[in-house]
Amino acid sequence: MIPRMAYTIQHQTKKLGPYDLGQVRAMAEAGEVSGADLVWKEGSSVPTTVAVLLQGAEGEASPDVESSATSPPVFKKGAALTSFYLAALGLIPGIGIFCAIPAIFFGLKGLKDTKADPQSRERMHALVGVFVGGFLTLMYALVITFVFMKMMKPAGE
């Protein structure tokens, strides 16, 4: 027989448990614990929430099987986050123009990648990258145009 996984719950200021997954589910349904309460898998120091634990357990064949939902959500460090950082670097005079334009392209790729999850933080990173990168590109283009116009103006005028 497979041993049941034990969970400890932090409800307000009290630690409860250990409980198996069925008991955690019953407590949540009865309103004894909330979905926002933290829960630790036996032997782990990384908490998750009751809601995430139970949501991940719905897809399992058996509550005896360990869930991957007990680990915290992972950020995909891809195009959206790259866009965000490039937009931030775009604020630095001198190198900014070289970062602002790529921020737009990485942001658009990040938006495409996160299309399935409109609430994700990565989507917000991509949006910030696109808007800030676009604004900075426009500003740098105006500055370059202004400097070019001053250089081309005859000295007598």
85-126 pLDDT per residue, tens? 999 999 988 888 899 999 999 999 988 888 877 667 788 888
Burial of 104 (0-12, 13-18, 19+ CB in 10 A): buried
Kindly state the tokens that stand for 99. Answer: 């970062």
CB–CB of 80/114 below 8 Å? yes
Nearest to 67 by CA among 96, 100, 24: 24
CB–CB of 63/56 below 8 Å? no
pLDDT for the residue numbered 57: 66
Catalogue all structural domains in the chain, each as residue range(s) with its CATH number.
Answer: 7-70 (3.30.1490.40), 79-152 (no CATH)
Hunting for tokens 């990258």 — which residue is that?
Answer: 129
* Mean pLDDT over the full length of the chain: 81
Distance CA 121, CA 6 (A): 31
